[in-house]
């Protein structure tokens, strides 16, 4: 006897933890849009590419036009000769010193995370 919309919501009410699942779904949609549109994230990625190209200058890898996201894991593995600093440390210091406007990137990307709590 119920309309299609009411039937849908009646079935939806049967799903365990439906509210938290819908919040996560909403977050994923919003987060994806924020990441794609983030100029700060784009600048950080460009900085990483420039840094890696400078390190690889003179080799076949020294003029890359992009990189795979899983390559970002190597930033923490690549160490200086003295073994005290990683490429990630250097990148963070460089951004902090030369591009402090990018430091709130994480806060901007996760602003919608507050809607999950």
**Which band of pLDDT confidence, cut at 50, 70 and 90, is reported for residue 109?**
low
**Which band of pLDDT confidence, cut at 50, 70 and 90, is reported for residue 111?**
low
Note whether residue 53 is domain-resident: yes
d(C-alpha 112, C-alpha 115), whole Å: 6
Nearest in space to 87 (alpha carbons), one of 96, 104, 74: 74
Note whether residue 9 is domain-resident: no
| Domains held by the chain: number | 1
The length of the chain in residues reads 117
Q: Which domain holds residue 88?
A: 20-116
CATH of the domain at 51: 1.20.58.2220
d(C-alpha 53, C-alpha 55), whole Å: 5
Please say whether the dihedral angle defined by the alpha carbons of residues 17, 18, 19 and 20, taken in this order, is positive or negative: positive
Note whether residue 8 is domain-resident: no
Nearest in space to 95 (alpha carbons), one of 115, 69, 75, 111: 75
pLDDT digits (tens, 9 = 90+) for 43-59: 999 999 999 899 888 88
pLDDT digits (tens, 9 = 90+) for 75-92: 988 888 888 899 999 999
């Amino acid at each position: 006897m119920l309309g299609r919309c009411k039937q849908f919501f009646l079935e939806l009410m049967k799903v365990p933890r439906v509210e938290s699942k819908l919040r996560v779904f909403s977050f994923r949609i919003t987060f994806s849009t924020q990441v794609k549109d983030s100029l700060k994230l784009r600048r950080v990625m460009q900085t990483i590419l420039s840094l890696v190209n400078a390190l690889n200058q003179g080799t076949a890898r020294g003029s890359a036009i992009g990189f795979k996201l899983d390559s970002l894991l190597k930033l923490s593995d690549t160490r200086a000769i003295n073994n005290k600093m990683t490429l990630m440390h250097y990148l963070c210091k460089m951004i902090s010193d030369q591009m402090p406007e990018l430091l709130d990137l994480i806060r901007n990307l996760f602003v919608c995370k507050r809607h999950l709590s």
